[in-house]
Amino acid sequence: MHNVVISGTGLYTPADSISNEELVASFNAWAHQFNVDNAAAIERGELAAQTESSAAFIEKASGIKSRFVMDKAGILDPERMKPRLPERSNDEQSILCQMAVAAAEQALQRAGKTAADIDAVIVACSNLQRPYPAVAIEVQQALGIQGFGFDMNVACSSATFGIQTAFNAVALGQARAVLVVDPEICTGHLNFRDRDSHFIFGDAATAVIVERADLATSPYQFEIVGTKLLTQFSNNIRNNFGFLNRAAEEGIDAADKLFVQEGRKVFREVCPMVAQLIGEHLTENRIDVADVKRFWLHQANLSMNHLIVKKLLGREASVEEAPVILDTYANTSSAGSVIAFHKYQDDLGRGALAVLSSFGAGYSIGSVILRKL
Ligand code: CO8
């Protein structure tokens, strides 16, 4: 068994950002028009009137102030309210591959590695754009990496599950180094006409290099002390889009073919599970929670993160202990905790212990304990 490190991280952030105010203006313009167009049906009680969304509510309920997106104009157009991402020919690089490569190049550069040093690519994300060929194999080809690649989806926990998979391959000697990339275009499957959830997601891509410790040369190394995963079935976060939709004509355009959730239930059920899993994981590794310098948590909701760290530490955490990126990125699914890791790691001293943790649909929860080298 080899010791394993994360030797580099990378981030791709889309150029465009949408503020809560811009998003709400678009939603409210659509809602107003909907109520005018359907006044008679609403009057008869056949349709529910649309209620206005509010920027103040969004920030208070979630901590989100803005989000980066791959196509701002399409999302904000009240006639459209979804990104416009034109199809590309099979000979062009796919948009997911393009984002993944941008993040991967930065991770490779920070790790001081080239494609020749990597033996496998895992694309781990919620929102894969096609069933096959695997996006990972396209990324592999784009970067000139030998070996193998595959895609995996464990919703918001895809990155931590991907890191454990990469860790196992490197520890067992199946690969010298594995590139794990998380390209997320969450806005592609967000219902921007649903007041309860239209503000939740943004787009981004992250990458990490998981490498054999004895081969790593980067100044940004973190030893992977341990990984722990948990899944428990729940319908509270669900998307019924899938390959069998066309075999069942009824409901093909229904709202459940996009992201839907029972946000309150998710909040209530997931927070204690995450705190328990991280607590158990630290105990199994004989680490006192008070010795953990940083928690890079999944970035879905600020109050959720406050609650989880408070359960663990028995006190409020400082922003240095649990960094926040959801204020400007919103929820980017699997990329979220890795964005926090990427942006808030360089100040940690040698030997500092930290936890990278994801949680989301499934339910799925991941904990990765890291030590700065
Ligand atoms: N503007 C104004 N008021 C609103 C709005 C709005 N936009 N939305 C709701 N309200 C109102 C409601 O009508 C309600 O009013 P009333 O009390 O009069 O009935 C009131 O505000 C409270 O509504 P909620 O109970 O829904 O509000 P919450 O306080 O629960 O906040 C949140 C909503 C922010 C969604 C919160 O519940 C939350 O963040 N929960 C956790 C969610 C979470 O972590 N989910 C994980 C999802 S990610 C994942 O795992 C899947 C990844 C797949 C990626 C897919 C990409 C598309």
Predicted structure pTM score:
0.96
Q: pLDDT at residue 252 above 80?
A: no
Average pLDDT of the residues of the chain: 97
CATH class of 223-372: alpha beta
What is the 8-class DSSP label of residue 350?
T
24 in ligand 1 pocket by Cβ < 6 Å? no
Q: pLDDT at residue 270 above 80?
A: yes
Of all residues in the chain, the percent with pLDDT exceeding 90 is 97
pLDDT band at 250 (very low <50, low <70, confident <90, very high): confident
pLDDT of residue 162: 98
Count other C-beta atoms under 10 Å from residue 337's C-beta: 30
pLDDT band at 199 (very low <50, low <70, confident <90, very high): very high
pLDDT of residue 253: 76
All structural domains of the chain with their residue ranges: 223-372
Residue 333 and residue 158: Cα distance in Å, rounded? 8
360 in ligand 1 pocket by Cβ < 6 Å? yes
pLDDT single digits (tens) 328-344: 999 999 999 999 999 99
- Tell me, in angstroms, the distance from the centre of ligand 1 to residue 165's CA: 32
Asked if residue 98 lies in contact with residue 200, where contact means CB atoms within 8 angstroms, the answer is: no
Long-range contacts, stretch 234-238, CB < 8 angstroms, 24+ apart: 234/269, 234/361, 234/362, 234/363, 236/261, 236/262, 236/265, 236/266, 236/269, 236/363, 237/155, 237/261, 237/262, 237/266, 237/360, 237/361, 237/362, 237/363, 238/361
List 295's β-bridge partners, or say none: 355
pLDDT band at 317 (very low <50, low <70, confident <90, very high): very high
**Average pLDDT of span 236-241:** 95
pLDDT single digits (tens) 89-112: 999 999 999 999 999 999 999 999
Q: pLDDT at residue 249 above 90?
A: no
pLDDT of residue 141: 98
Asked if residue 335 lies in contact with residue 182, where contact means CB atoms within 8 angstroms, the answer is: yes
Check if 156 is active-site. yes
- Tell me, in angstroms, the distance from the centre of ligand 1 to residue 58's CA: 8
pLDDT of residue 54: 98
110 in ligand 1 pocket by Cβ < 6 Å? no
**Average pLDDT of span 126-135:** 96
Q: How does strand 203-212 pair with strand 177-185?
A: antiparallel
Asked if residue 126 lies in contact with residue 335, where contact means CB atoms within 8 angstroms, the answer is: no
- Tell me, in angstroms, the distance from the centre of ligand 1 to residue 316's CA: 23
**Which residue in 97, 125, 156, 186 is the catalytic one?**
156
The answer for 358, left when phi > 0, alpha when psi is -120 to 50, beta otherwise, is: beta
Residue 290 and residue 29: Cα distance in Å, rounded? 49
Of all residues in the chain, the percent with pLDDT exceeding 70 is 100
**Average pLDDT of span 131-150:** 98
pLDDT of residue 251: 78
pLDDT band at 254 (very low <50, low <70, confident <90, very high): confident
